[in-house]
Structure 1
Amino acid sequence: MKTILVVGASGATGRLLLKQLLDKGLKVKVIVRQPNLLPDDIKHHANLSEIHASVHELTDAEMALHVTGCDAVASCLGHNLTFKGMFGQPRLLVTDTVRRLCRAVQANHPEKMVKFILMNTTGNRNRDIPEQVSFGQACVISLLRLLLPPHLDNEKAADYLRTQVGQHNEAIEWVTVRPDSLTNADAVTEYEVHPSPVRSAIFDAGSTSRINVGHFMAELVVDDDLWNRWKGQMPVIYNKE
């Protein structure tokens, strides 16, 4: 049975990913700040283990312990949409957590490759390709980078996987999942996955339900063919119109 570590599991998308992983019969470890943050229908699941801690306060040794034996690590971590959450510390919450998790995985010298799945945003470009955007969108993104710390955090987190973990790491393979405008839905629907955005994230944004994001991330964990299709890339996911 595969074991997955999820950070950001108490968030709007993380909860949906968590439920789908458990529904697939996987063992899941979650790092949450305090008890009772998870929905009642899953917090007592036999395959769920809760670690009550703030991810940025864990020591390196504790982080290494928590990733021990994990086949995959998934991050749905993000900033709270409050003034403090967006402009307070830690400003690089996602980047710092991704960096520390990756270092913890590598410190353990796992016998087989560990999958790392990061939820990101379609407003962030994959600079490995590179992706072209309009002058107008580039200007808006530059402003977001200056004015909204969470956007810069998303960029730096994905860049860490691209440039520091890279394509030939001895311990980690990764996928950065980029949804467009997130929406709520009660059930998984048809969706499309593309290597790059097929519409402007600023001027012609599409929509992606959180439950579809969770479904795609869970499928990446269990479906090795799907994983091999997207590893080392930053796929963009849209609800199918």
Structure 2
Amino acid sequence: MKILIVGASGATGKFLVDELLSANKEIKIIVRPTANIPDTWLYNEQLHIIRGNISEMKVDEMTEIISDCNAFASCLGHNLTLKGVFGKPQKLVTDAVQLICEAISRKNPEKAVKFVLMNTVGNQNRDIKEQVSIAHKIVIAMVRFFIPPQADNEKAADFLRLMVGQNHPKIEWVVIRPDSLINEYSVTDYRLHPSPISSAIFNPGETSRINVAHFMAQLIMDDDLWGKWKGQMPVIYNK
């Protein structure tokens, strides 16, 4: 198995790379030319580093990159700066998901590949009509209008839900929704739920980035776990 990770230089992506390297998996990562990555990655033969801006890549280039990959993970997100939140590309995550899926379709693998997308608990799973309060809907609508990354996360998940869907012959997916992200440096117990168990706006929980990375890695490596959550949008909380 060879795994492509985008967003690998981010706070969660680095944990995911380390989780998979520790399991002796072969990995390709796409990182910005200016991204800071651990020095140890540079000398790891299991890791192939591709420097480039994914927002500028075309489908032919991506098809070549993924030619030997059979699992995919996105930890892409917007930097929490004025430029990162309000600057271009405002559809960074959506465009990357669509690009990779188009490349997978062109590659036409013999069996379906896995695609794991890190998202946000502020995004509802409309496949199962999650119930939220009117106040929650109003706040999310305001966030969606004023803060572009919210809309980007929603559109990225919707691309997998609606365009790829549940019965695609070549692509299977899971969208992971953490609650308020915190930094911890070892994996702890965590809980998984099909839907939020509390309001992400008015009563948020916590999820450590390393736990998100651990769950993503386990989904990629464990076919039984994958079968349980395939085509769903599980919410992950620290226990």
Q: Distance in 2 between matches of 1:125 and 1:176?
A: 11
Q: Secondary structure at 1:19's aligned position in 2?
A: helix
Trace 1:165-180 onto structure 2 (pairs within 5 A).
165-180=164-179
Q: Distance in 2 between matches of 1:233 and 1:128?
A: 9
The Cα shift of 1:35 comes to 6.3
Q: Secondary structure at 1:13's aligned position in 2?
A: helix
Trace 1:52-201 onto structure 2 (pairs within 5 A).
52-201=51-200
Contact 1:5/1:29 (<8 A) preserved: yes
Contact 1:30/1:49 (<8 A) preserved: yes
Contact 1:14/1:76 (<8 A) preserved: yes
- Range 35-44 or range 163-172, more displaced: 35-44
For the aligned residue pairs, the C-alpha RMSD in angstroms reads 0.9
Q: Which residue type is aligned with residue 55 of structure 1?
A: I
Q: Distance in 1 between matches of 2:34 and 2:28?
A: 14
Residue 230 of structure 2 corresponds to residue 231 of structure 1: yes
Contact 2:8/2:29 (<8 A) preserved: yes
Q: Structure 1 unaligned segments of length 5 or more: list them.
A: none
Q: Distance in 2 between matches of 1:165 and 1:70?
A: 18
Aligned equivalent of 1:206 = 205
The Cα shift of 1:37 comes to 2.0
Q: Distance in 2 between matches of 1:150 and 1:36?
A: 20
Aligned equivalent of 1:31 = 30
Deviations 1:137-189 (A, max 9, x none): 11100000100000000000000000000001011000000000000001000
Taking structure 1 as reference, are residues 148 and 35 closer, same or farther at Cα in structure 2, changes over 3 Å only? closer
Contact 1:19/1:42 (<8 A) preserved: no
Q: Which residue type is aligned with residue 122 of structure 1?
A: V
Q: Distance in 2 between matches of 1:180 and 1:129?
A: 19
Q: Distance in 1 between matches of 2:119 and 2:42?
A: 25
Q: Percent identity?
A: 56
Q: Which residue type is aligned with residue 65 of structure 1?
A: E
Q: Which residue type is aligned with residue 171 of structure 1?
A: K
The Cα shift of 1:42 comes to 2.9
Q: Distance in 1 between matches of 2:89 and 2:126?
A: 25
How many residues are paired up?
239
The Cα shift of 1:56 comes to 1.0
Taking structure 1 as reference, are residues 35 and 48 closer, same or farther at Cα in structure 2, changes over 3 Å only? farther
- Range 5-14 or range 62-71, more displaced: 62-71
Contact 2:174/2:230 (<8 A) preserved: yes
Q: Which residue type is aligned with residue 202 of structure 1?
A: I
Q: How high is the TM-score relative to the length of structure 2?
A: 0.98
Which aligned segments of 4 or more residues in structure 1 are displaced greater than 6 angstroms? none
Deviations 1:27-54 (A, max 9, x none): 0000011266211233321100001110
Contact 2:8/2:14 (<8 A) preserved: yes
Taking structure 1 as reference, are residues 201 and 45 closer, same or farther at Cα in structure 2, changes over 3 Å only? same
Q: Distance in 1 between matches of 2:29 and 2:160?
A: 21
